[in-house]
Structure 1
Amino acid sequence: MARLKRRRLKIILVLFVIIILLYVYYENEYGSELMKQSVYRNDLEKISEKILFKGVQDKNLHFQNKSATSSLGVLKYCNFPNPDSLKEDTHHVQLNIQGYTLQQVHVMIRHGDRTPLHTIADRPNPRISCKFSKKEKHAHWIVGKFISKMQNEEAEENFEFLNPYPNQPYCRQSYLTPQGAVQELLNGLKAKYKYIDQLDLFRQSFSERKVIAKSTVYPRTFQSATAFMFGFLSDFNVRVKIHKARTDFCSERDSGLVCQCPGLSNYAKPQNNMRKMSKFTQEAIMNFKHKVARIFHMDVREINSLTHIFDALMVRACHGLPLPCNKEKKSCVNRKMLDTLWSLINTDLQHNYLYNENNLKASHLKFHPLLVEMYSRMKNYTKRSSTTKFVLYSGHDITMTPFLTLLGIFDGKWAPYASTLFLELYSKKEESKIHYYLKIIYNGVDKTKDLKFCRGSEMCKFKYFEQFVNSHLEKIELNDYDSECFS
């Protein structure tokens, strides 16, 4: 009996030692890789405590070190949930549009915070929990209400029975995180405060038939749409059906145009961007690639895209995790490199979408059907042949950026997580006639005056928008849509 006990004890000790060795190996291989860079980690912990789910207006609160304020641009990309900002833009809404009546709203959103699509040098990305934390659950009453409701909801048949919200031990690759769901819940709630509570969009007669929601087929966009619509319609006990859509949101039924456009291939090969870039920028890109290659012992030719590196790094920056080091822990990615990467990526975006003629034409051609759909819905409403009041398009950065480019308001920066673009249709009675006007809001900033076709007006005449829809292809030296696609 004593011998059996000793044998069991030995087995337990051996298993304990194996577990310890495995833990040490894991920590050495993939663990806290920036222990020596405690300043960065502490700064991000402060972000989690002071910004995440609390909201901060003091720009210096992101980083206590004044020399590090350049990191603000990177962290704005994270777009931390901020419940305190919910009503800051709504208290003065009436003053900006006094005398006008809101009639219809279109909103395009980029999905919320997600896990990465890419890795660096095949190193595993950190695992992110897909369960709502206590902090997230108590961030705002809408979050708890959303979780309780979704727990009893069935998976969406129209989207291959996807779960309507993040609810797994860990998020899979490129899946929406609970933080991303909170972002979209708050976006929807902010839209509710403005359009329903203050501007009475539904005229006290809400009906599901007045709302349309579309999403691309990916879990992150579907769950973002679900969260946004829950926040927006939180006063109504409804769950609006979400319709599948292409990444360019072209709908032959809603636009009257054919979506398959073979002529797009004529602009698929971008012109040589590097000729447009300064020698300094070209050298900066190559120097950055070489620096990353040295850290991770890679061949620089393996680094095809800076955006892939950025994608793998931002999950750490947006979740307060240490930036990665090489296996020897002798060289690490630091905050300055992240700032440099952000700057280089935006420079590349500007050249791709603003200075590359082929990409510029492709943006106008590819998103023409969506523009026509939005215009047609507005036009039908002005003719009283439609009762649609609100349309949601839940997409990606590759949806948002070219559409902003088409409108002429792309700011040259990668669209943050949970970005929003609102197109608002208003009416005003003047001399016994009803006139219609358009406003466009991007990430909370009124961009109407920046639209060239609005001619500097804060309330853009709807006829100016109509002229733009009919002429934007010609102005960029394209033929009409059908001719470009099929001739």
Structure 2
Amino acid sequence: MHRDRLSKDFSCWNILMARLKRHRFKIIAASLVVFVLFYLYTQKEYGSELMNQSVSAQHLDRLSKQLLFNGPVRNIHSHNASSQGALEYCSSPNADSVKEWSHQVGPDANQYKLELVQMMIRHGDRTPLHTLADRPNPRISCKFFTKEKNLHWIVGKFISRMQNEKVDVNFENMQPFPNQPFCRQSYLTPQGAVQQLLNGLKAKHKYINQLDLFEQDFSERKVIAMSTVFPRTYQSANAFLYGFLSDYDVKVKIQRARTDFCSEKNSGLSCHCPGLGKYSKPQRTMRKMNKSTLQTISKFKQKIGSILDLNTKDIKSLTHMFDSLMVRVCHELPLPCNKARNSCIDQKLINTLWSLVGTDLKHHYQYNENHLITQHIKFHPLLVEMYFRMKNVTRQSSTSKFVLYSGHDITLTPFLMLLGIFDGKWPPYASTLILELYSKKEKLKVHYFLKIIYNGIDRTKDLKFCRGLDMCKFKYFEQFVNTHLENLGLSDYDSECLL
């Protein structure tokens, strides 16, 4: 009986295999159809929304939530960034900045033509530069995990492209994107690369899709990219450019640059400036912080010292402390605790620290005239370079359309100071400062105008030299470039630099 049942089962199995063999080609074909349909479905859901020329700011906002995959950075989009305290430092792209990335020139916007964009970025999320009283920082992965690769089509394509990129000898054979088991000190994280990828996509949406910056005639010559010689800035530039030029199969060569982006070739000025030394120390007449603020800072240090069993003398800098702690906040890692005392650093203390850092920075920059003078002199060549590039456009002697400067907070903050729009806050990761040049035809004459946007907010009206105008006349910017040193009681650049 048992043998008969086995024989019957074996016979059924042979019949089934015979049928499968007869219809194997149909089965293979059906499987391929299912696979192709599934692929097209996923591409439609995730791949086509950015490629669509009519993509809206709402689509970009939704995309930013998909791409910024870590908790605090993702959640920042659901509220006003200004109410997030220290979390706003984790990531510049937020709901407010998405709105500003859309084309907003004015009621007669169709009369203006975008001629040139010059953008300065701060690198994306990185591991800390500093430690808290020599205590080790947490280890952060510098590898893209599978879930992050599959998060959106652009992330997967970016990783594939970067894996096939040759190392650039001009950048000391640095990896083109985060691709190590763990990030070393002050290295760009995968999250930081994604932030810049998103910045690039937003720039593409506004400047290519909406304003047709390249006028349907793209050429690599129209894009200039520069980066300081650090992995975090070089990799940020690669990520930004991939997002920005994702419609084009190109690789723009990135040029090496100093941290102040001084270029003798582009500005015509010497980058050797020994005269800066006489302004390097704070003034004796520098206004001191008021007593209550100093007491608040002292009490805060004592509280942190008590929680972590640290001598307050070991807590030398608020910015160093903040830099060390924010890696935990931005990556949803537990904040330091003292089990013996049953006490921990919490988000409220982090927000207090963020506020105190802002107070400290604002005081240092605004009440130290020597520091202000130093920044005006040091970044004058970059200002002149940007001006010359715009001037060449007005003379119709330039092919450049987009210029990227990939730098640091120590690049961005002084330049904001020079322009007079520094808000006293440490520039968040992936911050952007954009100078847009527009032309407008009136009868037989062409006029040129400037707009300056910082982290998605139009700051043109706040520039004193723009005289409260939404569209700053280019001649006003020209006057500022020629007189900003004189307005501080200084001689010309060469006289100040060469002792």
- Could you tell me the TM-score, scaled by structure 1's length? 0.84
Unaligned runs of 5+ in 1: 1-46, 63-68
Is contact 1:448-1:460 (8 Å) kept? yes
The answer on whether the counterparts of 1:86 and 1:186 sit within 8 Å (CA) in structure 2 is no
Which residue type is aligned with residue 114 of structure 1? R
- Cα distance, 1:304 vs. partner? 1.8
Pairing 1:269–2:281 present: yes
CA distance in 1, matches of 2:231, 2:221: 25
**1:141, 1:83 → 2: CA distance?**
22
- Output aligned runs, 1:229-248, within 5 Å: 229-248=241-260
Match of 1:44 in 2: none
1:159-192 CA-to-partner distances (Å, cap 9, x unmatched) read 0110000011111110000000000000011001
SS of the residue corresponding to residue 484 of structure 2 reads: helix
Q: Decide whether the 8 Å contact of 1:454 with 1:464 is kept in 2.
A: yes
Matched, 1:163 2:175: yes
**Which has the larger displacement, 361-370 or 84-93?**
84-93
Distance 1:334 1:274, change over 3 A: farther
Residue 267 of structure 1: how far off its partner (Å)? 1.2
> Could you report, residue by residue, the CA deviation over 1:267-308 in whole angstroms, capped at 9, with x for unpaired residues?
111236984311011111222222222233233222221111
User: In structure 1, how many angstroms separate the alpha carbons of the residues matched to 2:401 and 2:69?
Assistant: 37
* Aligned equivalents of 2:363, 2:97: Cα separation in 1: 33
Q: Structure 1 residues 240, 159: closer, same or farther in 2, change over 3 A?
A: same
Quick check: 1:301 aligned with 2:313? yes
- What is the count of residue pairs matched by the alignment? 432
**1:52-451 matches, cutoff 5 A:** 52-53=73-74, 56-59=77-80, 72-79=84-91, 89-90=101-102, 97-271=109-283, 275-326=287-338, 328=340, 330-451=342-463
Q: Whole-Å Cα distance in 1 between the matches of residues 75 and 157 of structure 2?
A: 18
CA contact (8 A) 1:83 1:140 kept: no
Aligned partner of 1:466 among 475, 478, 487? 478
- 1:162 is paired with a residue whose SS is coil
1:53–1:139 Cα contact (<8 Å) kept: no
1:65-94 deviation per Cα after TM superposition (whole angstroms, max 9, x unaligned) = xxxx96x12000101766997577426568
The offset of 1:51, in angstroms, is 6.1
- 309 and 162 in structure 1: CA distance in 2 versus 1, 3 angstrom threshold: same
Aligned equivalents of 1:286 and 1:96: distance in 2? Answer: 53
Asked whether the 8 Å contact 2:269–2:381 carries over to 1, the reply is yes
CA distance in 1, matches of 2:442, 2:432: 31
Instruction: Give the letter aligned to residue 79 of structure 2.
Output: D
Query: What amino acid is the match of 1:472?
Result: H
Higher Cα Rg, which structure: 2
CA deviations over 1:327-377 (Å, ceiling 9, x no partner) = 636332222221221111101111122221111111111100000000001
Structure 2: distance between partners of 1:164 and 1:227: 9
Q: Give the root-mean-square deviation of aligned CA atoms.
A: 2.2
Alignment partners' CA distance in 1, 2:382 and 2:455: 20
Mind listing any 5+ residue stretches in structure 2 that lack a counterpart?
1-67
**1:166 counterpart letter in structure 2:** P
Tell me, yes or no, if the aligned pair for 1:184 and 1:228 is still in contact at 8 Å.
yes
Q: How far did 1:312 drift?
A: 0.5
* Residue identity opposite 2:315 in structure 1: I
Name the amino acid aligned to 1:317: V
SS of alignment partner, residue 281 of structure 1 = helix
Assess, with a 3 A threshold, how the Cα gap between structure 1 residues 459 and 94 changes in structure 2: closer, same or farther: closer
Query: Is the Cα contact below 8 Å between 2:129 and 2:185 reproduced in 1?
Result: yes
C-alpha distance in structure 2 between counterparts of 1:128 and 1:50, whole Å: 15
How far apart are the structure 2 equivalents of 1:125 and 1:56?
Answer: 27
CA distance in 1, matches of 2:457, 2:100: 12
Conserved? CA contact 2:233–2:406, under 8 Å: yes
Of the structure 1 ranges 454-463 and 278-287, higher mean CA displacement relative to structure 2 is found in: 278-287
Q: TM-score, normalised by structure 2?
A: 0.82
Q: CA deviation at 1:209?
A: 1.1
CA 1:161–1:341: 2 relative to 1, 3 Å? same
Note the C-alpha offset of 1:478. Answer: 1.4
